[in-house]
A and B are shown apart, each in its own frame.
Chain A
């Protein structure tokens, strides 16, 4: 008796479970047309500022899927033509180049492209540059004298820097640096450099970890994007900072500029709204809002908008002459990192 009761209840439950599965599918089918899905490899804080203001201006709601740039790029590649994403906005150009090569990106509105200097955009016109960050060396002046700082990023692989540096080899921001070394010096040199770093460096998960370690004196120097140092300073206050920044100059590879960019997915069903979002994030109001925010410490790529004064002026930087096309899509980086034992 009780068994048949349980059996009947069991069936009900299975029904209920199935109902649950279907019920939860309904909302995503019934999304209103004015909701954009943004896949974001950018910082949550930056994204939040942008989508809130965008919604105020246009009424378009933006749903965000966040992750690391390379992760999301590979996710988009796996999802292919049936991806739910409308826009991809990420920290580093190679992730966009990867998707461009896989023909997953739609052409960007020429007016949007025209807002940004052409060298920061896709040569094929299927993604647009938005913001930029400089690769720098954060260092703790109590542990290393300015005279001992390396002139070149490549020096950090030398035995004299053993135990003195920190890196975050699996952070999305480190990968373009490896690509840049490989592009300018060749793959063998890149692996040799990485192996040197492996011997010399303490390993962290991300740039936030590196800059925090340098600041607390756990390690003398660390390779980061300038963004993270500015962010830490904003957080703990100028007076309490124990670290500072060393810029690589004279076109050294270490001064590479990482270009953060955005694209519309070819598969998006909201092309017009997606283009509107791209146009918005490169517009002067959006870019100056970010520059003034004390939340996002990146260089606005829109000409004429001054960066946050905490940063070294963009025009004073002396980055290496590597174009976004030469930088490529980071596809070899994982194997180079593994060869060096860093991944």
Chain B
């Protein structure tokens, strides 16, 4: 942990205040939701909360969460082990392809599958599509952990008589536990807050039901009460995730250098294994991309393409998506910077609290943030109601944890010692900033900006609920066309969206290294937690 040299002194009050803005902003939707829920008379609230529907939703949501998490765990671990530990034919290709679904928003995957066959609109379909979208999180997490296991341990087990399976279950798997559990909880959290994919799949979860309440009654306490239940669920998962990441660490003590482990030969098993990877690639990538390509060529039926993707509309929606993403990136980084700086340079409970609070944003689903902001502005802050500014603020709240983690990583590159050395050599603050801090932290800042940009670009829920009147984005077009069964009409927007998202992720990976993007970035949640950062910082120091 050389990189984080903290100062024990008191942080400047101005900076502390600026940092507090980020945390307060994150708390705002929570507070508004609780306030709104409290507007329901106690007896009504009890009736609303303990009605059969809430039980059904709990069952529906949790069953899907458990099933998706388990499927992702098996699939992700198997893929990671095979790619890290065996000589699978086409290993490099698969390890590149397997992470790509993370750059495709789940609601786009969902659109593609639903347009292939509406019979996917049930539990099995939801399981298939959500697993395809989120299992790469587990793959990345487990693959990183596998790379860090000392092969000597496994070899010792083998020399003591364990076969490959038994040494995997008795030695490797226990070492993977933190990565596996942490990754599973992240997938679970993602499934809990997912809205777009389930809405298009017509699978009822808390998020879709909150939206249903909104559709039938705009902004009443009914939606807020459901939101409170969902937030509690999310925060439970979030806390569990932080604990898993924070505790259970298997580490070797002392120095020493690890060898790269010797990969297993698969022998005849290479054929079914390679076939398995082909199948995964087809299901997770081939079908979504293929369906979009297919619909792009279908222009015949009027009802399919009524809002025929005129070039003009395509350009204007794309421009709007880019504009929102740029503004949101700017505001999010601005708001997160003071807090990230404090967290890197100072210690103390106020900073810890501010940081923890900001990370809470992960546990607040975007539909809840959006509805809370609507309620707040329609009742109390009318000038902001339906404004672009409000949408940008919503994005900033949603992606604050992402910004904080990326900024912390960037700022810790600029060590305080180097600044002090610069000062002792007679540089003034301007020179220090431009000759020392920026060159050191610059690439990290760039990566942070790019990450937030891509995340905002593919955001659906908040955009849908908060976009100013008369504005439409790529995400909104895909959603509204798909939900009215106009699949061909949605295709051009989906294609442009995926295109921009894939290209920017690819550029990001090339510019900043694959690990920078995929280990921490394209799996935004993965690097949101302080514990995970510490782990990574520790790895970097080895």
Contact = CB atoms under 8 A, between A and B. Distances in A.
B430 A5 contact: yes
Interface in B366-386: 378-379, 382-386
9 contacts: A2-B429, A6-B15, A17-B331, A17-B334, A24-B327, A71-B218, A77-B218, A235-B486, A338-B51
A320 interface: no
A170 interface: yes
B483 A206 contact: yes
Q: Is the interface of A mostly helix, strand, loop or mixed?
A: helix
A122 B327 CA distance: 45
B219 interface: yes
Across the A-B interface, the 10 shortest Cβ-Cβ residue pairs = A63-B470, A74-B218, A234-B303, A1-B429, A45-B306, A24-B388, A68-B215, A170-B212, A13-B334, A212-B118
Interface string A263-279: 00000000000000000
Contacts of B480: 44, 66
Contact of A84 (B48, B428, B469, B487): B469
A249 B227 CA distance: 42
Given A5-B433, A7-B14, A28 B486 contact: no
A234 B302 contact: yes
B51 A231 contact: no
Given A63-B470, A82-B382, A10 B338 contact: yes
Interface string B214-229: 1111111010000000
B272 interface: no
A49 B21 CA distance: 45
B216 A16 contact: no
A71 B387 contact: no
Interface string B482-496: 011111000000000
B327 A20 contact: yes
B335 to A, nearest CB: 7
Nearest to A31: B470
Interface in A289-310: 293-295
A13 to B, nearest CB: 4
Interface of A: 1-7, 10, 13-14, 16-17, 20-21, 24-25, 28, 37, 43-45, 48-49, 63-68, 70-75, 77-79, 82, 84, 170, 172, 175, 203-206, 208-209, 212-213, 215-216, 218, 231-232, 234-235, 237, 293-295, 334, 338, 341-343
Interface residues of B, number: 72
Nearest to B434: A5
Nearest to B489: A45
Contacts of B379: 78
A71 B214 CA distance: 6
Given A2-B432, A44-B484, A205-B204, A343 B14 contact: no
Given A6-B15, A63-B470, A24 B217 contact: no
B145 interface: no
Contacts, number: 180
A182 to B, nearest CB: 16
B217 A71 contact: yes
B301 A235 contact: yes
Given A17-B334, A20-B389, A293-B306, 17 more contacts: A7-B15, A10-B14, A24-B327, A24-B388, A25-B389, A71-B217, A78-B379, A79-B378, A170-B215, A205-B199, A206-B202, A209-B121, A218-B119, A294-B303, A295-B303, A334-B217, A338-B48
Nearest to A215: B118
Nearest to B468: A28
A14 B483 contact: no
A311 B319 CA distance: 40
B436 to A, nearest CB: 9
A65 B470 contact: yes
A64 B469 contact: yes
Chain A CB within 10 Å — which of B53, B220, B331, B392 has the most?
B53
Contact of A16 (B47, B118, B306, B334): B334
Interface in B454-494: 468-470, 480-481, 483-487
Contacts of A205: 199, 202, 204, 208, 212
A20 B331 contact: yes
B223 to A, nearest CB: 10
Interface in B430-457: 430, 432-433, 437
A43 B215 CA distance: 14
Contact of B121 (A1, A7, A17, A213): A213
Contacts of A79: 378, 385
A170 B304 contact: no
Contacts of B484: 43-45, 208, 231
A266 to B, nearest CB: 18
Given A79-B378, A212-B118, A334-B217, A10 B337 contact: yes
Interface of B is mostly: helix
Contacts of B21: 14
Contact of A6 (B330, B341, B486): B341
B92 to A, nearest CB: 40
Contacts of B208: 205
Given A10-B15, A74-B219, A208-B484, A25 B387 contact: yes
B215 A63 contact: no
Contact of B419 (A2, A43, A78): A2
A17 B468 CA distance: 18
Contacts of A203: 204
B307 A45 contact: yes
A74 B217 contact: yes
B123 to A, nearest CB: 12
Nearest to A25: B387
Given A10-B338, A212-B118, A65 B469 contact: yes
A216 B378 CA distance: 42
A191 to B, nearest CB: 14
A331 to B, nearest CB: 10
B302 A294 contact: yes
A235 B288 CA distance: 20
Nearest to B114: A212
B387 A24 contact: yes
Contacts of B432: 1-2, 5
A86 to B, nearest CB: 11
B202 A204 contact: yes
Nearest to A218: B119
Contact of B303 (A44, A63, A170, A235): A235
B12 interface: yes
Contacts of B301: 234-235, 237
A10 B485 contact: no
B213 interface: yes
- Among B220, B307, B487, max chain A CB count under 10 A is at B307
Residue picked from A37, A49, A343, most chain B C-beta under 10 Å = A343
Contacts of A71: 214-218
Contacts of A234: 301-304
Nearest to A69: B215
Contacts of A3: 12, 15
B274 interface: no
Nearest to A6: B341
A235 B469 contact: no
Contacts of B470: 37, 63-65
B52 interface: yes
Nearest to B19: A10
A245 to B, nearest CB: 17
A1 B426 CA distance: 12
B58 interface: no
A338 to B, nearest CB: 6
Nearest to A333: B216
Given A20-B392, A70-B217, A341-B53, A208 B485 contact: yes
B128 interface: no
Nearest to A171: B215
B531 to A, nearest CB: 27
B386 A84 contact: yes
Contacts of A63: 469-470
Contacts of A48: 306-307
